[in-house]
Structure 1
Amino acid sequence: MSGVGAAMPRPPRGRSPHPSVVLATGALLLAVLVATVMSRPRPGDGLEAGHGRPASVSIDLRFEDLPDGGVAVRRADDGAAVAVLAPGTEGFVRATLRGLARDRKRGDFGPEQPFRLSAWTDGGLSLEDRATGRTLDLRAFGSTQVEAFSRLLPASGEDKR
């Protein structure tokens, strides 16, 4: 019988699935869970941006909040100004730095350690928090965001570690 009012066959009541089906399903779920946990990158496991490849240029930076709401970007080695982010501009850079600052606060780290911005020979760009060890591969956020951070790099070949 078919049609709108056709009744669908129902499984018999009170029957549980065969034990082998339950075991196979449980084993599959456990395997997926283990694979997920084991595949997550962790600091120090060699999966951070830039690990094992040479940087074409890098600079250690400090970021300083200004009274007018701007952010001063300075070289960590001598304090020379690299840029000033005017209030209300460079939203991605500001949001990224806020997130890293939260990590520092949670870990009870101060501003002593600089951030390292590196351009890699394979075209990558990363920002490393030297205090927490966290490294962000900035390419993951798109070309506009890469460009926002690229403006803070020194001229090619001038390494400012």
Structure 2
Amino acid sequence: MSHAHDHDPTVPREALIAIAAVLLAVMGLAGAVRLGIVPQSANPELSRAAANVAPAQQRNLRFADREDGAVLVTDADTGETVKVIGFGEGGFARATMRRMAKRRMHEGIGPLPPFTLTRWQNGALSLSDPQTGETAEIHGFGADHSATFAEMLEGARS
């Protein structure tokens, strides 16, 4: 009988040490960025400011849950219905709005102050909450998700 496949199946100690060192370095860098020790290199707001990218289109919006489970999106300036996102539709848009609304609730801010949806000169989209300072960069999540928010800008001021 051959002993050609007779070997120790354990991972070498040096490889485990190398993996642990890489994991610690990654976690340390992520923590340093999170704590502000190391600046974020991909901050869209700072990048736009540095490149003097101005808003091309903006619309102030309010979001309200309806009894049927739909989300009603209205223009905060005119009261016009902008979009109705039916129950079970628009998962990304719902999640984005809900995350921002949850932060407002946590800070004791009601639904009355509007959110601002902006299309920038470079084509990027962002939804911001002037009350909390939170911004969601929409364009980074793909064309389908961007299209849902871009539809909300139809008829908006330029």
TM-score, length-normalised on structure 2? 0.69
Q: Hey, what's the Cα distance between the residues in 1 that align with 2:24 and 2:89?
A: 47
In the TM superposition, residue 155 of structure 1 has moved relative to its aligned partner by 3.9
Q: What do the CA deviations read for 1:107-137 (whole angstroms, capped 9, x no partner)?
A: 2221132111111111111111222111111
Query: Greater CA deviation, 47-56 or 116-125?
Result: 47-56
Structure 1: 5+ residue runs without aligned partners?
Answer: 8-27
Q: Hey, what's the Cα distance between the residues in 2 that align with 1:142 and 1:102?
A: 24
Q: In the alignment, what sits opposite 2:13? A: none
Q: In the alignment, what sits opposite 2:102? A: 102
Task: Say which SS state the counterpart of residue 99 (structure 2) adopts.
Answer: helix
Q: Hey, what's the Cα distance between the residues in 2 that align with 1:47 and 1:104?
A: 22
Q: In the alignment, what sits opposite 2:33? A: 39
CA 1:141–1:6: 2 relative to 1, 3 Å: closer
- Counting only pairs closer than 5 Å after superposition, residues 64-103 of structure 1 correspond to structure 2 as 64-103=64-103
Q: Hey, what's the Cα distance between the residues in 1 that align with 2:44 and 2:106?
A: 21
Q: Hey, what's the Cα distance between the residues in 1 that align with 2:95 and 2:23?
A: 37
Flag the structure with more relative contact order, 1 or 2, with Cα contacts below 8 A and sequence separation at least 6: 1
In the TM superposition, residue 4 of structure 1 has moved relative to its aligned partner by 4.8
In the TM superposition, residue 32 of structure 1 has moved relative to its aligned partner by 6.1
- Counting only pairs closer than 5 Å after superposition, residues 26-65 of structure 1 correspond to structure 2 as 35-40=29-34, 47-49=43-45, 51-52=48-49, 53-65=53-65
CA 1:51–1:114: 2 relative to 1, 3 Å: farther
Higher helix share: 2
The letter of the residue matching 1:36 is A
Task: Say which SS state the counterpart of residue 43 (structure 2) adopts.
Answer: coil
Contact 2:59 2:75 in 1 (8 A): yes
Contact 1:48 1:135 in 2 (8 A): no
Count residues in correspondence: 143
Identical aligned residues as a percent? 33
Structure 2: 5+ residue runs without aligned partners?
Answer: 9-21
Task: Say which SS state the counterpart of residue 88 (structure 1) adopts.
Answer: coil
Q: In the alignment, what sits opposite 2:137? A: 137
Q: Which has the larger radius of gyration?
A: 1
